[in-house]
Structure 1
Amino acid sequence: MTQNVNFKIIPVTHYKQNACVVWQDGCNKAAVIDPGGEVEKITSFIEDNKLELDKILLTHGHIDHIGAARLLAESSSTEILGPHKDDTFLFDMLPEECRLYQFPHCDVFYPDRFLEQDDTIWVGELQLQVIHCPGHTPGHLVFFAPAAKLAWVGDVLFRHSIGRCDFPGGNHAALLDSIKNKLWPLGGDTCFIPGHGPMSTFAEERRHNPYVADH
């Protein structure tokens, strides 16, 4: 499944958000997906494993997924990519989100580049496809490594659950459409790393997830 792709899930902040370092065998270039906080945990892992941070990728604009992104980018001269531009308003709200959800203060910032459906990101020779999956937020993205059958789905889908839609810009119907029409076609044998909690497969969720199971 993931024999040529390595990843390390690093839970961060009081939300236990799954920041993830990903890199390919034989290459020291790595990406960090959703560095939500506790930047020292992330940088320590990168340094201990002699990796070179190449990109910072964001699935969406909530503070628990982006809180350490700017600090990590500035300390490593690395570009921040994603999410989709429809999440711009969430970056505008960062100071208020920090106050509301008890995160360390974070000034407003924006990614170096917003991403679009069908963009392709390269981390060394590892290819990641960009899939726009609105619902939890309007600009939510999923990153999919087709060679590894592995997806980073942020807060779209969880093991036996789905993302909340009661935040600003949330849309329950759009979320269900994203899951069924954009994630399921990637194949039941695709494993996914959610924004919180344990990994699962799309086949498992189609069988047993009470919100989106086929039955």
Structure 2
Amino acid sequence: MQVLTIPVTPFMQNCRVLVCPTSRIAAIVDPGGEPEKIIARLTEEGLKPKMILLTHAHLDHVGASTKLGEYYDIEIIGPHKDDLFWLEALPMQSQMFGFENHAAFLPSSWLNDGDTVEVGKLKLEVRHCPGHTPGHVVFYEPVSQQVLVGDVLFKGSVGRTDFPKGDAAKLKHSIESKLFSLPNEVVVHSGHGENTTIGYEKATNPFMSGRFG
């Protein structure tokens, strides 16, 4: 699986584009804003995405979803339905995050733990990882051993839990049961910052070892 990274907005959120190397079919994951920048990169790469996938419903991860969905005439899929309240609160989020006003929207379909999403010949395993938000999901591609984790896990850190319905205990359980159960070699693509690996975070992440939090 090829993963293109397009940092967007002042939050430097990592919009990712997943590309099936066999079919060149692509999916956009977490388009947080700046749709023109995302479209320009896709055009440069000669890609036409087939879907938009969302890990969670914070505005800095979904801000360009409706515009890209309309531009490419593609569906928005995910996250888990427990993030519905965040999507309904997008106008409030716009004020909270200092973004241009964004209308509420609903995805074409929700995702559940154990679902599979096909992008060309790629088969992404969906894992529900509540804690940062209650409906957060991650996407694991076992053949290339890569996982897109949104804001669940970062290099040397974990997602915030001080937003409404955040839960630190649930976040830690999600990481331990749904991410640290993956092979150590798995590359972790986080929603902000640089990549890491499961093995590195298991060995060094201070928030999971008990040193912090």
TM range (shorter): over 0.9
Q: 2:161 aligns with which of 155, 159, 165?
A: 165
1:151 corresponds to 2:133: no
1:130 corresponds to 2:143: no
Aligned to 2:6: 10
Q: TM-score, normalised by structure 1?
A: 0.96
- Aligned-partner Cα distance in 1 for 2:156–2:96: 28
1:106 corresponds to 2:93: no
- Aligned-partner Cα distance in 2 for 1:114–1:204: 31
**Does the C-alpha gap of structure 1 residues 179 and 52 become closer, same or farther in structure 2, counting only changes over 3 Å?**
same
Correspondence 1:26-105 to 2 at 5 A: 26-105=22-101
Structure 1 counterpart of 2:5, one-letter code: I
Cα distance, 1:214 vs structure 2: 8.5
Q: 1:181 aligns with which of 172, 177, 182?
A: 177
Structure 2 counterpart of 1:148, one-letter code: S
Aligned to 1:21: 17
Q: Is the 8 A contact 2:22 2:121 kept in 1?
A: no
Cα distance, 1:148 vs structure 2: 0.8
**RMSD of the alignment, in Å?**
1.1
Moved over 6 A (4+): none
SS of 2:208's partner is coil
Aligned to 1:119: 115
Q: TM-score, normalised by structure 2?
A: 0.97
- Aligned-partner Cα distance in 2 for 1:73–1:53: 10
SS of 2:99's partner is coil
**Does the C-alpha gap of structure 1 residues 169 and 214 become closer, same or farther in structure 2, counting only changes over 3 Å?**
closer
- Aligned-partner Cα distance in 1 for 2:73–2:183: 36
- Aligned-partner Cα distance in 2 for 1:181–1:106: 34
